[in-house]
Amino acid sequence: MSSGNAARKIDPRRIRPKHATISGMELDECYRAGDGAGVVGEPGQYPFTRGVYPSMYRGKTWTMRQFAGFGSAADTNARFKYLLAQGVDGLSTAFDMPTLMGYDADHARAEGEVGREGVAVSTVDDMSVLFDGIRLDEVTTSMTVNCSASVLLAMYLVIGERQGCSWKKLGGTIQNDMFKEFIAQKEWICPPQPSLRIVTDMIEFCTREVPRWHPVSISGYHIREAGSTAAQELAFTLADGIGYAQAAVERGLDPDEFGPRLSFFFNVHNDFLEEIAKIRAARRMWARIMRERFGAKTDRACLMRTHAQTSGVSLTAQQPTNNVVRVTVQALAAVLAGVQSLHTNSLDETLALPSQEAVTVALRTQQILAEESGIVNTVDPLGGSYAIEALTDRMESEAQAYIARIDALGGIVRAIELGYPQAEIADAAYAFQQATDGGEYVTVGLNGYTMEEDHKLEILKIDRAIEGEQRARVSAFKATRDRQQVAKLIEGVRSAAVEDRNLMPAVVDAVRGSVTVGEISDVYRQVFGVYQDPATV
């Protein structure tokens, strides 16, 4: 708890000049030959500025992966099946706050939160209902969960076993990016060091046991949503990636083995050219980081595969139909930047979790881009554009300066402990709010082109009865277990934690034996301690 000092003064250079991007990066009136990099390179070739594969969307369209989760596991299972029937290529799971923070639905801290911001999963039985009727070796699944990720991954593996699927055939991604939690999304259990240890355990475990799984999705998305600029998003994401790769190397893992298992996740905000430049710069920078810092020999280990999501914070509650247009522009930028998978936000997301009608429009937006717009027919159509290449270079040099600063501080863990990225983001968020409140940045429908009567959308309502039902299910599940066996399995997790053995085998055993998300997270709380928000403004 801090009563805080006076708020930091905002650097006036952060205030957006007239012909600047949304991040405040001023553009030239016109770009010409010689403004950008001399060498544009080839798609599918190091350093992959133009894309990770030679044929890009000619070979395979990006994966349309809509993030979904609300209410009970059965509610979300029905939404998953609806989305699959409508043509999504991959599942993506949103968990509720108690699950994300490592509390079971019957915990006091879960009160009021169960099933409200995602699906409630406390037990392996909940997980089983969530994926009921969906063959896990026929879909790939992304799970957005971080501090309790080890438990949710274990549950997925156990459900796979129950379906008779080999772990070797399970494909997907678990977000598991704890650095960006401390920096931006702020769901955590233990402090940065033990959090990194758990992430590294999962990288090690998956590299050996679940070879098609991406054990971490290094995420700029939340950094941007928390208010960073595009260059900060790029820089802090890559700095986080450096932190994980460094830890994996220190664990004795080979960059050529774990490199291809790292995946990324970027935001795609409103500023079209800046966003395309950001993702192109990200690929080039990461390739060089893996080769030059970590000595990866194969190109596969240097290749940045990325998911992208359109920007939630860019949407407005006012005149919400306009959000469809924002999402379209952002999705177009993502595709022109060459992402591997994409979530398009629904027009109602500033009001509630998406309704079925809204999520259908969001998915159709991607399908229209893929089927009707023609942009999939040639690889990296913007490659060689004077402006795009020059901006790609600019993004790279701005991000490189931040990475150098983080290196000078002693790396990302130290930078987080010092609150450096957090303060940079808070400053940028405040500057943007001031630019909005002052009218220097116009958002249509919000501080320009406003209307008296807003169109009212039918929003998704979460039945308040769900919480009581889920609490009862979890209590009943716990009551039927063999207590001694459960205690023994919890002890197994504890001893792996204390003795510094890889946690995953013990966590998988525990989940198989009906230990819950909250019970395993309690072990982490007891052994590693609980991180406290520094509460700086």
Partner 1 sequence: MSEKVLRILVAKPGLDGHDRGAKIIARALRDAGFEVIYTGLHQTPEMIAETAVQEDVDCVGLSILSGAHMTLFPRVVDLLRQKGAGDVPVFGGGIVPDEDIGELKNLGVKEIFTPGASTKQIVDWIRQHIQPRA
SS3 string, 419-486, reads: CHHHHHHHHHHHHHHHHHHCCCCCCECCCECCCCCCCCCCCCCCCCHHHHHHHHHHHHHHHCCCHHHH
As measured in angstroms, the least distance from the Cβ of 340 to partner 1 is 27
As measured in angstroms, the least distance from the Cβ of 490 to partner 1 is 23
Question: CA 73 from chain center: how many Å?
Answer: 21
Tell me whether residue 254 is exposed, middle or buried, using C-beta atoms within 10 angstroms of its C-beta: 0 to 12, 13 to 18, 19 or more.
middle
- Give the integer Cα–Cα distance in Å for 212 and 265: 17
Residue 151's contacts (CB-CB under 8 Å, 6 or more residues apart) are 102, 507, 511, 517, 520, 521
Applying CB under 8 A, does 177 fall inside the site for partner 1?
A: no
Task: Considering the complex, state which of residue 462 and residue 506 has its C-beta at the smaller distance from partner 1.
Answer: 462
3-class DSSP state of 409:
helix
Applying CB under 8 A, does 458 fall inside the site for partner 1?
A: no
Number of residues near partner 1 (by CB under 8 A): 53
**CA-CA distances (angstroms) from residue 183 to 223, 312, 417?**
7, 18, 10
| CB-CB neighbours of 325 under 10 Å | 12
As measured in angstroms, the least distance from the Cβ of 327 to partner 1 is 16
Q: Which one among 15, 376, 446, 527 touches partner 1, defined by CB under 8 A?
A: 446
As measured in angstroms, the least distance from the Cβ of 316 to partner 1 is 6
- Give the integer Cα–Cα distance in Å for 141 and 156: 9
Task: Considering the complex, state which of residue 1 and residue 30 has its C-beta at the smaller distance from partner 1.
Answer: 1
* Interacting residues with partner 1 between 6 and 45 (CB under 8 A): 6-7
* Interacting residues with partner 1 between 472 and 501 (CB under 8 A): none
Task: Considering the complex, state which of residue 371 and residue 533 has its C-beta at the smaller distance from partner 1.
Answer: 533
As measured in angstroms, the least distance from the Cβ of 152 to partner 1 is 16
Angle of the 483-498 helix axis to the 504-512 helix axis, nearest 10: 170
Chain position carrying tokens 């919480």: 467
* Interacting residues with partner 1 between 352 and 391 (CB under 8 A): 352-353
CB contact at 8 A, 234 and 269: no
* Interacting residues with partner 1 between 52 and 111 (CB under 8 A): 97-98, 100-101, 103, 109-111
- Of 154-162, 262-270, 346-354, 389-397: span binding partner 1 (CB under 8 A): 346-354
The torsion angles phi and psi of 171, rounded to 5 degrees, stand at: -120, 145
Write each residue from 405 to 434 as x if it is in contact with partner 1 (CB under 8 A), else as -, in one continuous string.
Answer: ---------------------x--xx--xx
The tokens for 116 are 């409200």
In this structure, the strands spanning 213-214 and 140-144 are unpaired
- Of 4-12, 245-253, 258-266, 324-332: span binding partner 1 (CB under 8 A): 4-12
As measured in angstroms, the least distance from the Cβ of 185 to partner 1 is 5
The DSSP secondary-structure symbol of 337 reads: H
Write each residue from 109 to 128 as x if it is in contact with partner 1 (CB under 8 A), else as -, in one continuous string.
Answer: xxxxx--xx-----------
Angle at 493 between CA 490 and CA 496, to 5 degrees: 150
Task: Considering the complex, state which of residue 176 and residue 185 has its C-beta at the smaller distance from partner 1.
Answer: 185
- Of 275-283, 290-298, 315-323, 360-368: span binding partner 1 (CB under 8 A): 315-323
Write each residue from 514 to 533 as x if it is in contact with partner 1 (CB under 8 A), else as -, in one continuous string.
Answer: ------------------xx
Applying CB under 8 A, does 537 fall inside the site for partner 1?
A: yes
Q: Point out which residues bind partner 1 (CB under 8 A).
A: 1-4, 6-7, 97-98, 100-101, 103, 109-113, 116-117, 181, 185-188, 225-227, 313, 316-318, 350-353, 426, 429-430, 433-434, 436-437, 446-447, 456, 459, 462, 464, 532-537
